[in-house]
Amino acid sequence: MGEVQSGTAAESSHEGRVSAQFGPQAAAYVASAVHARGPDLDALATILQRERPHRLLDLGCGGGHVSFTAAPFVGEVVAYDLSEAMLEAVRVEAARRGVSNIATRQGVAEALPFPHAAFDAVASRYSAHHWRNLKVGLAEARRVLKAGGRAVFMDVVAPQWPVADTFLQAIELLRDPSHGRNFSRGEWDAHLAQAGFVVEAVTAHRLRLEFASWVARIRTPELHAAAIRSLQQGASAEVARHFEIEPDGTFTLDTLTLVARAV
């Protein structure tokens, strides 16, 4: 697919919508406390400190928090994203921090512009739910990863029961029209195996999202924010308990960190 073209036609594509949605908020994602820290980043740092890979691909880098976590332990980090505005924000932040081993590259997850086995490690955080095709994106991640190399995927995970799954996808789409899908643990396992990975470790976390900053970060229209609040207020007792919905709309969802080895 290559780089997303400019213009109305490009903006109407899925990739164009993702880029248009996140580009103007690039600085907000660099500064976001939700994205800048977490037990998943701590776990990633522990793995990289132990293994010291020479070259790591940050797949769907967003505000660059994986790249900045990895940089002290890796020879080179390639921060890869659909949005040029995000990449520019990463370059600016890297310069501000004095980090010199982060390179940037633009493109889509399903067509990585790198040769086979170009990386010793791959990491991807809060990106896969925006990809056009998870199966293809994971196959590409496996293609560019050396045999025996490790990949760490960190993302929101959908509940296994359909009612809660539908609720989560609905509020995500209302908040961000470029949202694709949050996948279940079972879907992740199946797609990783098909792509040529063996899952070595899985860690579940709960992530609390303060409602006002959650919608402000992506500039959700007021009408859509009101619709999310309406869905929350009309949710069943079981759904409300699962997501720990609070009076102001703040809620908690599930995330997974999957460590997989390329076979």
Domains and CATH numbers, the chain: 8-157+178-206+255-262 (3.40.50.150)
Alpha helices in the chain (DSSP H): 8-12, 14-22, 26-31, 33-36, 39-51, 65-70, 84-97, 134-143, 162-175, 185-195, 211-217, 222-233, 237-242
The confidence score (pLDDT) of residue 25 equals 60
DSSP state of 246: -
pLDDT of 24:
57
Does residue 149 contact residue 48 with C-beta atoms inside 8 Å? Answer: no
Q: Roughly what angle, to the nearest 10 degrees, separates helices 134-143 and 185-195?
A: 40
Query: What pLDDT does 120 receive?
Result: 98
pLDDT at 15: 72
Strands 197-209 and 55-59: unpaired
The phi and psi torsions of 85 (rounded to 5 degrees) equal -65, -40
Residue 8: predicted pLDDT: 45
- The per-residue pLDDT for 84 is 92
pLDDT of residue 6: 37
Mean pLDDT in order along the chain per 10 residues (263 residues) = 38 66 58 70 96 97 95 98 93 95 97 98 96 96 98 97 97 95 96 98 96 94 98 98 98 97 98
Cβ atoms of residues 129 and 180 within 8 Å:
yes
Q: Which helix (H) or strand (E) holds 254?
A: strand 251-262
The rounded distance, in Å, linking the Cα atoms of 152 and 145 is 12
- Residues 96-105: b if buried by 16+ CB within 10 A, e if exposed: eeebeebbbe
